[in-house]
Structure 1
Amino acid sequence: MSIEIKAPTFPESVADGTVATWHKQPGEAVSRDELIVDIETDKVVLEVVAPADGSIAEIIKGEGDTVLSDEVIAIFAAGDVAAAAPAAAEAAPAEAAAEGDADAAAGPAARKLLDENNLDASKVPGTGKGGRVTKEDVLNYLKNKPAAAPAAAAPAAAAPAVEVPAAGERVEKRVPMTRLRATIAKRLVEAQQNAAMLTTYNEVNMKPVMELRKQYKDLFEKTHNGTRLGFMSFFVKAATEALKRFPAVNASIDGNDIVYHGYQDIGVAVSTDRGLMVPVLRDTDGMNLAGVESAIADFGKRGREGKLGIDDMQGGTFTITNGGVFGSLMSTPILNPPQTAILGMHKIQERPMAVNGEVVVLPMMYLALSYDHRMIDGKDAVQFLVTIKDLLEDPARMLLDV
């Protein structure tokens, strides 16, 4: 039985997508709910799974092709895999022989790797149906290639094709920008062009938070089923309280209108292999520290696995980004439109500080607040950042609401 495999239904904010990777090729056995193709949109990568046991009969949209919502991208042969696979497996070698092109016996994902690494498909052993070269075959060939070189070649033997660049050779590699990376680039440029962006800085003594964390981290983890107490939850709660006190920082600009939000949805920047993503913590005023830490850990895990959904990243009234995890001492974060402010955390570093006329070494962190001066006055931005500083240097104030 033939089944049409369609692209996912995209939300209204997503016009189309791009076929990123075919994980299965025509003729390969596929189990029900097994991942067969990734569709990359402007925001996330969506996964399409097999509707039943069987195999792909025909790929209609190859890697790099643009697809619309619910557009047919392949034909799936459901039923007995052993019966469905031979027809597709025999077709590929026959077509390759007719055209005299070894690349025809390689799937789209394999051909892409072959082209990127300047490999001849005829030299890569194929383990797919009918000797078809799969993506895994190319990866294994590349991985084992150095070991496969003969230790002592005969002097008269023809020199093999050298793919390792010679000494002094200036190598360049051109690859297309991913859809997500292109969207990130576009939004960052637009943010700088369309907003009167300004950044104010301050520094916070992290010793009180570090001592509190050290004192309670084991009990916290035991009480909350393995959830670890980090620093981000303190910043989220401090930012939430500060946003309540300074509504303009929690607002957004829509044309000539200012939209004041009566809730705090805080985006937390997450670095992934595909680029920077900003999943959103909803209604942080009603979350405790354990809830914040658990949600952030889940975002990080799903971000690394490419499983963050569009719903996870829609909305948000304020953003926090932490360059300190990569060692950044100070930076200027860029706004995440249509939000009007973003808080940048940085590396905790011991520095000599003057305290009551004495020099004391304290663990300090620089804070940066970038904001849209069209919406937020400098006075409010500075006081907002000072509020976060005061709450972090005396965490009890968050509990007492003072």
Structure 2
Amino acid sequence: MATEIKVPVLGESVTEGTIAEWLKQPGDAVAADEPICSLETDKVAVDVPSPVAGVMSEHRASVGDNVEVGAVIAVIEEGATASAAAPAATPAPAPAPAPAAAKADTPAPAQSEALLNPAQTMSPAVRRAVLEHGVDPSTIKGTGKDGRLTKEDVLAAAEAKKSGGAAPAPAAPSPAAAAPAPAGAGRNSERVKMTRMRQTIARRLKGAQEQAALLTTFNDCDMSAVMEARDKYKDLFAKKHDIRLGFMGFFAKAACLALKDVPAVNAYIDGDEIVYHDYVDISVAVSAPNGLVVPVIRDADKKGFARIEQDIADFGARAKAGTLTMEDMTGGTFTISNGGVFGSLMSTPIINPPQSAVLGLHRIEDRPVVRNGEIVIRPMMYLALSYDHRLIDGREAVTALKIIKEAIEDPTRMLIDL
């Protein structure tokens, strides 16, 4: 029996997606709930699973096609077998068991994650295969559209690695090719279509500049107290909560204090009305393979440090794996973006519409400052608060940033809600 596979509901206000990669080709066997294709939306890439077991009969859409929710994209012959649907391929001889030394060379999960290059576009299925098999994607030649890696490319590389083989070496250059290149050669250009997510990021950021009256206020912050508290309690914290104590938890709690005291920074404009919130949902900017995403820590004002750090760690891991959902990134009343992890000294972050403010964190570095009439060295960080001046006055923005600075410099304020 033929079963049509339709584009599933992708989330609120999302009506279509783009076929990023077919994970199953016509003639391939498909298990129930097994992903058959990767679908890229404005916010995330999602795998479309098969509701039945059978064989992929046909594709109704091609890679790069825009497909609406509910559209038929494939047909699966339920209950069929791969041999019945397509000519059987000549089975390849089973590879000899890998020697123990080769098995020992397989990277651990943490090492495998280090192989992932944020600049290399990969679907969720491909990324999972890279992590599972511990292969370096930069050494694999992609056979997909525009040279993108497919799951089959990764599996073939993993099989070659297990059998002790290697990827085919490039053919030796012909004598003509070996001749010295003329001056100016090698200046190639490549035209690559923007992914749907990158198009959305570009549109939203440009829209924020055009619609909001953006302004940024700066301050600097002495990180001594937070660093001392972190060094003193990080081992106990990790032992009790099984999570590392980072700096983002401190800044999230400090931001909650500021947003409660200055409600306009936690609000947004909707037409000719202002929408205020009695809760704080903090969007945390996370670097994902296809661009910047902002998953949301719900009710951050009601959560403790451990839960906030756990949420952030979970978002980071799922952003790398490409498994964040639409629900993870829906909403948010305020954003924190940490450019310091990449070495940024100072920046003017752009707000995340429809929000009205974003806090930018930067790198910590020792600088000379004056304390009690003496020049001393302190670990300092520049803080930046960009805001929509249509809603937030300068006094409110400066006050909010000052509250965050004071809470970080004296963490006791977070405990007594001061």
| Alignment TM class, shorter chain as reference | 0.7 to 0.9
Which residue number corresponds to residue 363 of structure 1? 379
Which residue number corresponds to residue 136 of structure 2? none
Distance in 2 of aligned mates of 1:207 and 1:194: 39
Contact 1:26 / 1:89 at 8 angstroms: preserved in 2?
Answer: no
Which residue number corresponds to residue 336 of structure 2? 320
Query: What runs of 5+ residues in structure 1 fail to find an aligned partner?
Result: 91-108, 119-132
- By how many angstroms is 1:45 displaced? 1.1
Contact 2:216 / 2:386 at 8 angstroms: preserved in 1?
Answer: yes
Distance in 1 of aligned mates of 2:154 and 2:182: 27
Which residue number corresponds to residue 373 of structure 1? 389
Distance in 1 of aligned mates of 2:32 and 2:369: 62
Q: Which residue, 365, 374, 384 being the options, matches 1:349?
A: 365
Which residue number corresponds to residue 34 of structure 1? 34
- By how many angstroms is 1:88 displaced? 9.3
User: Is the alpha carbon distance of 1:308 and 1:166 closer, same or farther for their aligned partners in structure 2, counting shifts above 3 Å?
Assistant: farther
Contact 1:114 / 1:138 at 8 angstroms: preserved in 2?
Answer: no
Which residue number corresponds to residue 118 of structure 2? none
Q: So what's the TM-score if we normalise by structure 1?
A: 0.83
Which residue number corresponds to residue 70 of structure 2? 70
Task: Report Cα offsets for 1:247-272 as digits up to 9, x if no partner.
Answer: 01011000111111111111000101
User: Is the alpha carbon distance of 1:166 and 1:262 closer, same or farther for their aligned partners in structure 2, counting shifts above 3 Å?
Assistant: farther
User: Is the alpha carbon distance of 1:166 and 1:229 closer, same or farther for their aligned partners in structure 2, counting shifts above 3 Å?
Assistant: farther
The 5 Å alignment of 1:182-201 reads 182-201=199-218
Q: Which residue, 162, 169, 174 being the options, matches 1:147?
A: 169
- By how many angstroms is 1:185 displaced? 0.2
Q: Which has the larger radius of gyration?
A: 1
The 5 Å alignment of 1:84-163 reads 84-86=84-86, 113=143, 116=146, 135=153, 147-150=169-172
Distance in 2 of aligned mates of 1:52 and 1:148: 42
Which residue number corresponds to residue 348 of structure 2? 332
- By how many angstroms is 1:80 displaced? 4.4
Contact 1:53 / 1:81 at 8 angstroms: preserved in 2?
Answer: no
Match for 1:319: what amino acid? Answer: T
User: Is the alpha carbon distance of 1:115 and 1:256 closer, same or farther for their aligned partners in structure 2, counting shifts above 3 Å?
Assistant: closer
Match for 1:75: what amino acid? Answer: V
Q: Which residue, 180, 183, 206 being the options, matches 2:223?
A: 206
Which residue number corresponds to residue 43 of structure 2? 43
Which residue number corresponds to residue 186 of structure 2? 169
Q: Percent identity?
A: 54
Match for 1:177: what amino acid? Answer: M
Q: Which residue, 258, 263, 271 being the options, matches 1:242?
A: 258
Distance in 1 of aligned mates of 2:189 and 2:59: 32
Which residue number corresponds to residue 95 of structure 2? none
- By how many angstroms is 1:201 displaced? 0.2
User: Is the alpha carbon distance of 1:116 and 1:297 closer, same or farther for their aligned partners in structure 2, counting shifts above 3 Å?
Assistant: same
3-state SS of paired residue (2:169): helix
Q: Which residue, 288, 291, 312 being the options, matches 1:272?
A: 288
- By how many angstroms is 1:159 displaced? 6.3
Contact 2:11 / 2:327 at 8 angstroms: preserved in 1?
Answer: no
Q: Which residue, 223, 248, 267 being the options, matches 2:240?
A: 223
Indicate yes or no: 2:15 matched with 1:15: yes
User: Is the alpha carbon distance of 1:88 and 1:69 closer, same or farther for their aligned partners in structure 2, counting shifts above 3 Å?
Assistant: farther
Contact 2:282 / 2:296 at 8 angstroms: preserved in 1?
Answer: yes
Contact 2:208 / 2:351 at 8 angstroms: preserved in 1?
Answer: yes
Match for 1:370: what amino acid? Answer: S
Q: So what's the TM-score if we normalise by structure 2?
A: 0.80
Distance in 2 of aligned mates of 1:355 and 1:319: 32
Which residue number corresponds to residue 284 of structure 1? 300
Contact 2:18 / 2:41 at 8 angstroms: preserved in 1?
Answer: yes
Distance in 2 of aligned mates of 1:28 and 1:272: 30
Which residue number corresponds to residue 307 of structure 1? 323
Match for 2:417: what amino acid? Answer: D
Distance in 1 of aligned mates of 2:212 and 2:71: 37
3-state SS of paired residue (2:86): helix
3-state SS of paired residue (1:147): coil
Task: Report Cα offsets for 1:74-102 as digits up to 9, x if no partner.
Answer: 01123243444425989xxxxxxxxxxxx
Indicate yes or no: 2:75 matched with 1:53: no
Distance in 1 of aligned mates of 2:322 and 2:176: 39
3-state SS of paired residue (2:336): strand
Distance in 2 of aligned mates of 1:45 and 1:183: 13
Query: What runs of 5+ residues in structure 2 fail to find an aligned partner?
Result: 91-125, 127-141
